[in-house]
Amino acid sequence: MKIAVASGKGGTGKTFVSTNLANVASKAVRVALYDLDVDEPNCHLFFNRDHEAVETVKTMIPVVDGEKCLHCGTCSDVCEFHAIVSLPTDVLVFPELCHSCYGCLEMCPEEAITEGFKDIGTITVSEHRSMTLVTGKLRIGQPATTALVRATKDEADTNVDVTFYDSPPGTSCPVIEVVKDVDYVILVGEPTRFGLHDLDLMVQTLKQLDRHFGVIINKAAEQNHLLEDYCREQEIDVIVRIPERSDIAVAYARGELVTETMPELEELFGRTFKRLRQITVGSAHE
Ligand code: SF4
Ligand code: SF4
């Protein structure tokens, strides 16, 4: 069972939900939590970790052989990222702009371009009780978010019952990379006008991708039914409402798992996990 936890925008409580769901699930089954918010991963702040292993992730950058190059300009023309520029006497490569698409290698008529490599970030694997935490961290300034998300997902722990993906915020390519092959997507939304606007963008994206999803309403206030009304209109399942409480916000800011320190929230996340198992088993038989 693979579940992505996503949101249309940052700050809705996506990491709060994914860390506490993974924690509560790890008390019953073997769990892997992947922090794929590679620009600023922070799931690791909530866990005591053992056996930490770090590997560097590399992607391709072109290397030009000056002896073979005839300065025809084809590589400049095919590179939509302006990462390679052919000059009358030289070819310049800008690694920080290169998206490793291989376009210039394939199109060079002189076969003057070969593969070099650059570091784009790291993947850290650690253990927390019966949970494996896999964290992708992008090097500052690298335009390789999607590539690192893919590489982190490929760090597959097949010996688990449930995998949670903590997705980057938004609706762009890295998020599509996260949700494209999961069994279910949890959208974490907050009941504000901004929250609804960005949640709707994500809902439309997931509908286009034909993904199975539901909504967790975070910071839910008693009298505010903005998201419930929206979900009813759109026929979207509301999985659970997490109340807006200052003690929850304080615990999160301290880096505490509320499923360890607040029994009623442990119970709420436990119920949520059971519900997710029922939903995903049900959808597997559809
Ligand atoms: S496409 Fe090849 S031959 Fe042409 S300028 Fe680029 S590296 Fe040189
Ligand atoms: S690999 Fe792609 S992005 Fe990088 S320089 Fe070549 S064409 Fe541009």
**What's the 132 CA to ligand 2 centre distance in angstroms?**
35
pLDDT of residue 129: 83
Cβ of residue 108 lying under 6 Å from some atom of ligand 1 = yes
Q: Which residue puts its alpha carbon closest to atom 6 of ligand 1?
A: 75
Band of residue 232 on the pLDDT scale cut at 50, 70, 90: very high
Question: Quick one: which atom of ligand 2 is closest to the CA of 94?
Answer: 5
pLDDT of residue 286 exceeding 80: no
Q: Which residue puts its alpha carbon closest to atom 8 of ligand 1?
A: 69
Q: Looking at the structure, do residues 169 and 264 belong to the same domain, yes or no? A: yes
pLDDT of residue 143 exceeding 80: no
Q: Which residue puts its alpha carbon closest to atom 2 of ligand 1?
A: 108
Question: Quick one: which atom of ligand 2 is closest to the CA of 107?
Answer: 7
Question: Quick one: which atom of ligand 1 is closest to the CA of 104?
Answer: 1
pLDDT of residue 221 exceeding 90: no
Cβ of residue 104 lying under 6 Å from some atom of ligand 2 = yes
Task: Give the CATH number for residue 261.
Answer: 3.40.50.300
Better-predicted residue by pLDDT, 2 or 9:
2
* Domain termination residue (choose one: 119, 135, 164): 119
Task: Give the CATH number for residue 63.
Answer: 3.30.70.20
Q: Looking at the structure, do residues 187 and 107 belong to the same domain, yes or no? A: no
* Domain termination residue (choose one: 94, 119, 144): 119
**What's the 78 CA to ligand 1 centre distance in angstroms?**
11
Which H or E run includes 180? none
pLDDT in tens, 152-203: 998 876 789 999 999 998 888 899 999 999 999 999 999 888 889 989 999 9
Q: Looking at the structure, do residues 64 and 81 belong to the same domain, yes or no? A: yes
The total of structural domains in the chain comes to: 2
Q: Which residue puts its alpha carbon closest to atom 6 of ligand 2?
A: 104
Q: Looking at the structure, do residues 64 and 97 belong to the same domain, yes or no? A: yes
pLDDT of residue 285 exceeding 60: no
Which residue spans within the chain are E strands per DSSP?
2-6, 31-35, 50-64, 84-86, 91-93, 113-128, 131-138, 162-166, 184-189, 213-220, 237-243
Q: Looking at the structure, do residues 50 and 15 belong to the same domain, yes or no? A: yes
Q: Looking at the structure, do residues 48 and 157 belong to the same domain, yes or no? A: yes
Q: Looking at the structure, do residues 85 and 136 belong to the same domain, yes or no? A: no
Beta-carbon contacts of 156 under 8 Å, excluding residues fewer than 6 positions away, are none
pLDDT in tens, 94-110: 998 898 899 999 999 99
Cβ of residue 17 lying under 6 Å from some atom of ligand 2 = no
Beta-carbon contacts of 40 under 8 Å, excluding residues fewer than 6 positions away, are none
Which H or E run includes 102? none
Q: Looking at the structure, do residues 69 and 201 belong to the same domain, yes or no? A: no
Q: Looking at the structure, do residues 107 and 241 belong to the same domain, yes or no? A: no
pTM assigned to the model:
0.86
Q: Looking at the structure, do residues 102 and 42 belong to the same domain, yes or no? A: no
**What's the 108 CA to ligand 1 centre distance in angstroms?**
5
Residue in this structure with the two tokens 């949890």, named with its chain if needed = 186
Q: Looking at the structure, do residues 88 and 149 belong to the same domain, yes or no? A: no
Band of residue 234 on the pLDDT scale cut at 50, 70, 90: very high
pLDDT of residue 215 exceeding 60: yes
Q: Looking at the structure, do residues 196 and 273 belong to the same domain, yes or no? A: yes
Q: Which residue puts its alpha carbon closest to atom 4 of ligand 1?
A: 72
Q: Which residue puts its alpha carbon closest to atom 3 of ligand 1?
A: 69
Q: Which residue puts its alpha carbon closest to atom 2 of ligand 2?
A: 101
Q: Alpha-carbon dihedral of residues 80, 83, 86, 90, nearest 10 degrees?
A: -170
Cβ of residue 98 lying under 6 Å from some atom of ligand 2 = yes
Q: Say what percent of the chain tops pLDDT 70.
A: 98
Question: Quick one: which atom of ligand 2 is closest to the CA of 100?
Answer: 1
List the domain range (segments joined by +) for residue 275. 2-57+121-284
